Amino acid sequence: MSRSKLLTLTMAVLLVFTITAGTIVAQDEPLRVTLVINGVLGDKSFFDSAQRGMDRAMEDFNIEVNTIELGIDPANWESGLDDAMSDSESYDLLIVGTFQMVDFLGARVHQYPDKVFVTYDAGVAYDNPDICVDGCTNVYSITYLQNEGSFLAGVYAAAMSMQDGIEGIDPSSVVLGAIGGQDIPVINDFIVGYEQGACLVSPESNVIVQYAGGWNDPARGKEITLAMYEQGADIVFQIAGGTGVGVFEAAEEQGRFAIGVDSDQATIVMDTNPDQAARILTSMMKNVDNSLYRAMDLYFQDALPVGEMEALGIAEGGVGLAINDIYTGNTPEGVQNLIAAVQEAVVAGEITVNTAFAPEGEAAVVGQGCAAMPAIEFDVEAAMGGM
């Protein structure tokens, strides 16, 4: 063989090796993905966002997705996940979310060492051998810095509450509401960020907080929201899944405003109820859809950090506010400038956002009040352009 032919053959072999070593090559058979929902689709929020991400992934990657809805009764969740995992011939990769499911998942993954598992919104206990028998080395965990996104929501709500000339807003005081589905750490992480954001804009902010006690009770959500409006709240932030539908009903009925969660809820509602959508000024987006799509993209690049947990915040596009026509049509330029400046300051590390997940003694608590919060060096008026 001539030297030139040998060189050509060697380069071709190296090229093939580089491609196969650097990426997962195209598969003849699609990747089989099971998405387990510990609830139901149709919440127009968290779980619908997960499904959107997988729908998008199916368009762009060679995958098939089977979605299993376990229903709203928590008593069925562990057995339902066990059944889905046990059907190991039907999937290559299984995805499940929420903190309620991570221990169930972690305790079983060692039984399926040839499978890949993805959990979102909470991480498995990698360093706890009582749960992760073999260290959960086949699990990739996604968490979100919901405190950062909710900080933006609090800044926005307080700034909007101080604006003159908006029907349904009383600018004489900053009174806001926040409804959590349950009194649990992840929801409190939303709330402490929201409260801190409001306090940045106005040290006199009053955030009324109440927990609905469940995730699929719109009537309860509406009842609480109406009471908050009676107490003077201009804007109510819903962090309660399907219960939050009642928040939007109350906002429409009373001519007040709401902030959605997890998905761009105004856009979702717009098709069926544009009047209600107009009351949802923005949503604190926990971009589950983007994060699951990103996970599939990383998988096909052979770059998914299996055996590790990643926390996605503003900088990574994991959280943020929904910017849509309702937002731009209702939000004064100064408030839009403020949100942009605050985002930049958080990403740059100039603002440290409170969190309920800090070490004991350092974690923020709901209702601590503006005076108890660490001072932040940030000029709100300058960020708004002196407006």
For the stretch 318-343, pLDDT in tens is 999 999 999 999 999 999 999 999 99
Residue 224's closest CA among 194, 191, 249?
249
Quote the pTM value.
0.81
pLDDT digits (tens, 9 = 90+) for 121-173: 999 999 999 999 999 999 999 999 999 999 999 999 999 999 999 999 999 99
Report how far residue 179's alpha carbon sits from residue 173's, in angstroms, rounded to the nearest whole number: 20
Q: How far is CA 320 from the centre of its chain?
A: 9
Task: Please tell me the least confidently modeled range out of 7-11, 206-210, 338-342.
Answer: 7-11
In terms of pLDDT, which residue wins out, 171 or 263? 171
Residue 61's closest CA among 294, 296, 298?
296
pLDDT digits (tens, 9 = 90+) for 349-385: 999 999 999 998 899 999 999 999 999 999 999 999 8
Task: Please tell me the least confidently modeled range out of 26-30, 214-218, 316-320.
Answer: 26-30
CA end-to-end distance (rounded Å), the chain: 78
Residue 22 predicted with pLDDT over 50 = no
Residue 387 predicted with pLDDT over 80 = no
Place 44 in a pLDDT band, splitting at 50, 70 and 90: confident
Query: Domain residues of the chain, as ranges?
Result: 9-144, 146-286+323-383
Task: Please tell me the least confidently modeled range out of 42-46, 115-119, 145-149, 350-354.
Answer: 42-46
Place 45 in a pLDDT band, splitting at 50, 70 and 90: confident
Burial 192-223 (b: 16+ CB within 10 A, else e): bbbbbbbbbbbeebbbbbbbbeebbbbebbbe
Residue 124's closest CA among 164, 148, 154, 94?
94
The residues, any chain, with a CB within 8 Å of residue 173's CB and separated by 6 or more, are: 161, 204, 206, 232
Place 37 in a pLDDT band, splitting at 50, 70 and 90: very high
Report how far residue 172's alpha carbon sits from residue 163's, in angstroms, rounded to the nearest whole number: 9
The stretch 214-243 carries a mean pLDDT of 96
Beta strands in 152-195 (DSSP E): 175-180
How many Cβ atoms are within 10 Å of 250's Cβ, its own excluded? 24
Report how far residue 298's alpha carbon sits from residue 25's, in angstroms, rounded to the nearest whole number: 13
Q: Which fold has domain 146-286+323-383?
A: Rossmann fold (3.40.50)
- pLDDT for res 24: 42
The packing angle between helices 146-161 and 333-347, to 10°, is: 150
The answer to whether residues 246 and 257 touch, using CB atoms and an 8 Å cutoff, is no
Average pLDDT, the chain: 92
Do the two domains 9-144 and 146-286+323-383 of this chain adopt the same fold?
A: yes
Residue 68 predicted with pLDDT over 80 = yes
Report how far residue 188's alpha carbon sits from residue 208's, in angstroms, rounded to the nearest whole number: 13
How many Cβ atoms are within 10 Å of 10's Cβ, its own excluded? 10
Residue 10 predicted with pLDDT over 70 = no
Report how far residue 106's alpha carbon sits from residue 261's, in angstroms, rounded to the nearest whole number: 27
Place 27 in a pLDDT band, splitting at 50, 70 and 90: low
Place 28 in a pLDDT band, splitting at 50, 70 and 90: confident
Distances (CA, A) of 322 to 152, 208, 234, 267, 282: 11, 23, 19, 9, 5
Percent of the chain, pLDDT > 90? 86
The type of residue at 135 is G
pLDDT digits (tens, 9 = 90+) for 227-240: 999 999 999 999 99
The answer to whether residues 262 and 49 touch, using CB atoms and an 8 Å cutoff, is yes
Residue 325 in tokens: 């026509």
Q: Which fold has domain 9-144?
A: Rossmann fold (3.40.50)
